[in-house]
Amino acid sequence: MVSKTVLNWFCLLNSDGVGPTTFWSFMSVYRTAEESLKHIQSPFPRDRAIRILERFRGHIVLASDPIFPDTLKRSATCPPMLFALGNLKLLPPKKIAIIGTRDASANGRSIAYRLASNLSKFSPIVSGLASGIDTSAHAGVLRNSERTIAIVPFSLLDIYPKENARLFSEIKEKGLIITEVPPHKPPDQGMFHARNRIVALLPVGIVVIEASLKSGTMDTAMMALDFGTKVMAVPGSPSDPRSGGCNDLIKKGVPLIENYTDVLEVMANSKKQRQPEFRGFSKSPAKSPAFSEEQQQPGLRGLLNNPAAAGNLEVKDMSNKILTMLSVDIPTSLEFIARSINIDMQSLLCQISELEILGKIRKCSTNEVLLQMRPS
């Protein structure tokens, strides 16, 4: 039996023209998925949604569920729903990710295997189930632990790559496999970027092993830096193109990793430092857009009716708060910013105009903005 809340969230998220950012904009304004669906021109058919969800034999986790990881809430593109197979107990704890090239060297695969095997004693290990480094990382965990999480690009009905079907099955039995892609959607090239976004958000730290300068791995590492995830890198030979990305990250100040104790030391030191605020989300669960249908949230309209909500904020502090919420490559909606920092829309628009004039941000639509450059 599919719950009403799951059904409404699924129908809203899978309606024409609705993605994670639009989903949260609707939820900010109308407070529930049920009410939001009344304002959708072409909502996803409920009878089809019921058939899809009843046939699905895995777990469905909503962003409003207590088990949903807080780390995913650092972006306005937080996936509203996750589809999972395996042990959901691995979802809440803090995690470390190990990522790298598909075309990995024997040495790179060996490092990933040993690093994952040792680190899994302290933390669940996340990777993307791709060939090369990802495969070795998952295998290293399964050697002596069951604490590995595979984030896959497609639905759980489409195993990718095919040669990892056996590894997929083993992780399903012992670890956890998650995706934001619903079972009815066929594979699409754009789903790789969405998968990489989750890889960048879900863990508190990421270790990069072998990555060329222009690669999906480096894109993931840069997203992770933007989101506030601690990025670390294993150095490699300057003559090997597969090490170009890692060596470049180290030159730019990313911690150099030689063994698992280095990772533990970096993460321990990062806890002692002041943690950056989550981009786009309040640390307080009551102010997160990932709320349940039953919770009474004030919504955007409440903010618009309360111009004094941001009263005591200094202009400079307000600008900084806005900038820390933005990404250079993922648009953030103005409604979402207003709700997250508790500011009325008129004041926000003034700040946005000033930041745009200063060249710090740019509009990518009438209602969404990006960082023009990273704030110094």
Q: Any idea what the CATH number is for the domain that residue 340 is in?
A: 1.10.10.10
pTM above 0.75, yes or no: no
Q: Give residue 319's pLDDT.
A: 84
Domain count, the chain: 3
Q: Are residues 144 and 45 in the same domain?
A: no
Q: Are residues 255 and 191 in the same domain?
A: yes
Domain contains 350: yes
Q: Which residues contact 332 (CB under 8 A, 6 or more apart)?
A: 21, 76, 279, 280, 325, 326, 368, 369, 370
Dist. CA 24–CA 79, nearest whole Å: 10
Domain contains 41: yes
Q: Are residues 262 and 308 in the same domain?
A: no
Domain contains 145: yes
Residue 22's CATH number: 1.10.150
**Average confidence (pLDDT) per 10 residues, the chain, 376 residues:** 94 93 89 94 95 96 95 90 97 96 96 97 97 97 93 96 96 97 93 95 97 95 93 95 96 96 92 44 33 34 32 61 78 78 78 80 75 56
Q: Give residue 373's pLDDT.
A: 55
Closest CA to 100 of 267, 277, 220: 220
Q: Are residues 208 and 315 in the same domain?
A: no
Q: Give residue 329's pLDDT.
A: 66
Q: Are residues 3 and 134 in the same domain?
A: no
Q: Are residues 316 and 176 in the same domain?
A: no
Dist. CA 107–CA 129, nearest whole Å: 19
Domain contains 198: yes
Q: Which two tokens stand for residue 270?
A: 């990062």
Closest CA to 368 of 376, 358, 354, 356: 356
Backbone angles phi, psi at 241, to 5 degrees: -55, -25
Q: What is the residue range of 232's domain?
A: 88-272
Backbone angles phi, psi at 96, to 5 degrees: -120, 140
Q: Are residues 41 and 183 in the same domain?
A: no
Residue 103's CATH number: 3.40.50.450
Looking only at the bridges linking them, the beta strands covering 148-151 and 176-179 are parallel
On whether the CB atoms of residues 278 and 63 are closer than 8 A, the answer is no
Q: Are residues 107 and 252 in the same domain?
A: yes
Q: Are residues 36 and 129 in the same domain?
A: no
Dist. CA 285–CA 291, nearest whole Å: 8
Q: Are residues 262 and 166 in the same domain?
A: yes
Domain contains 78: no
Q: Are residues 44 and 156 in the same domain?
A: no
Domain contains 10: yes
Q: Are residues 255 and 186 in the same domain?
A: yes
Domain contains 146: yes
Domain contains 73: no
